[in-house]
């Protein structure tokens, strides 16, 4: 990717779109400090994003939460233990406080009472919500979602969309979503950017409605689901 430059505004839901192979996942990793850009810089809340593991990355990690496509829950740990993990790793909070935060986060995602369950005992949608509770454990300023609807049926996907909206509205958390699911984008996104795999750059940005009526046929066809 070349010459990709954009802003994400505090408190908005921002989506990164594009066809398969356009670079969405690579850009996602750059934003989170998993991959270093060959040139240019990424800033979050005034701080330059550095590679995870480098000096200063701990401060950056406290500001973000990530929901991976697979959920990435630890299968041998209970849901409560999964959610508590970042709290135990990155804070000195007493155990009683950690347990209280875990219950609160699970309640926020509709999983109160499932603390002692293992991931395998939950449905795919419930696993995504448990992973979201873990991503929210440290009250991050920004949440990153990698294909949140992947593997979910339409009803469960719509429920997750509503949950994302509720979290954004009630907590004011900034959300960045990488996806190709147009239904989810139209349901939740305030602004979007679109990447192109042939030009290897950003070709459009704006509201979903603006991109759907774009003069660029590539952008318009993507929103109309027209075959290439």
- At residue 72 the predicted structure's pLDDT band, cuts being 50, 70 and 90, is confident
Is 120 a domain residue? no
Question: Which of 7-16, 33-42, 65-74, 218-227 is modeled with the greatest confidence?
Answer: 7-16
Is 20 a domain residue? yes
54: nearest Cα among 34, 30, 37: 34
Rounded distance between C-alpha atoms, residue 10 and residue 12, angstroms: 6
- Phi, psi dihedral angles at 220 (to 5 degrees): -60, -40
pLDDT above 60 (res 228): no
Please report, for residues 83, 94, 124, the alpha-carbon distance to residue 4 in angstroms, rounded to integers and kept in the order given.
34, 43, 34
Rounded distance between C-alpha atoms, residue 58 and residue 95, angstroms: 22
Is 91 a domain residue? no
Question: What does the block give as tokens for 222?
Answer: 């993507």
User: Whole-number mean pLDDT of the chain?
Assistant: 87
Is 1 a domain residue? no
Q: Which helix (H) or strand (E) holds 133?
A: helix 124-135
25: nearest Cα among 204, 198, 178, 149: 178
The enclosing domain of 53 has a CATH number of: 3.40.50.300
pTM value surpassing 0.85: yes
Is 104 a domain residue? no
pLDDT above 80 (res 208): yes
Rounded distance between C-alpha atoms, residue 35 and residue 50, angstroms: 9
Average pLDDT over every residue of 178-183: 83
Q: Which helix (H) or strand (E) holds 65?
A: strand 64-67
Is 72 a domain residue? no
pLDDT in tens, 153-169: 888 888 888 889 988 99
pLDDT computed for residue 56 by the predictor: 66
pLDDT above 60 (res 80): yes
pLDDT in tens, 115-149: 999 999 998 888 988 999 999 998 899 999 988 87
Rounded distance between C-alpha atoms, residue 36 and residue 49, angstroms: 9
Q: In terms of residue numbers, what domain contains 187? A: 13-63+140-224
pLDDT above 70 (res 226): no
Rounded distance between C-alpha atoms, residue 60 and residue 56, angstroms: 7
Is 87 a domain residue? no
Rounded distance between C-alpha atoms, residue 136 and residue 109, angstroms: 10
Is 90 a domain residue? no
Q: How many domains does the chain have?
A: 1
pLDDT in tens, 15-49: 999 888 888 888 988 998 888 888 999 998 888 88
């Amino acid at each position: 990717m070349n010459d990709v430059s954009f802003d994400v505004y505090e408190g908005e839901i921002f989506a990164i779109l594009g066809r398969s192979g356009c670079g969405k996942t690579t850009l996602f990793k750059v934003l989170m400090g998993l991959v270093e850009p060959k040139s240019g810089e990424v800033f979050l809340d005034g701080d330059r994003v550095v590679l995870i593991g480098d000096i200063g990355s701990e401060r950056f990690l406290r500001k973000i939460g990530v929901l991976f496509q697979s959920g990435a829950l630890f299968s041998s740990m209970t849901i409560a233990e999964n959610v508590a993990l970042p709290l135990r790793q990155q804070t000195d909070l007493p155990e009683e406080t950690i347990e209280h935060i875990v219950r609160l986060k699970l309640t926020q995602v509709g999983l109160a009472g499932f603390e002692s369950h293992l991931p395998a005992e939950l449905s795919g949608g419930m696993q995504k919500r448990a992973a979201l509770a873990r991503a929210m454990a440290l009250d991050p300023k920004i949440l990153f979602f990698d294909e949140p609807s992947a593997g979910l049926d339409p009803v469960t996907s719509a429920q997750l969309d509503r949950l994302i909206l509720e979290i954004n509205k009630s907590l004011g958390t900034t959300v960045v979503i990488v996806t190709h699911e147009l239904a989810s984008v139209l349901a939740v996104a305030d602004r979007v950017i679109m990447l192109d795999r042939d030009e290897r750059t950003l070709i459009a940005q704006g509201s979903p409605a603006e991109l759907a009526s774009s003069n660029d046929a590539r952008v318009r066809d993507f929103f109309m689901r027209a075959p290439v």
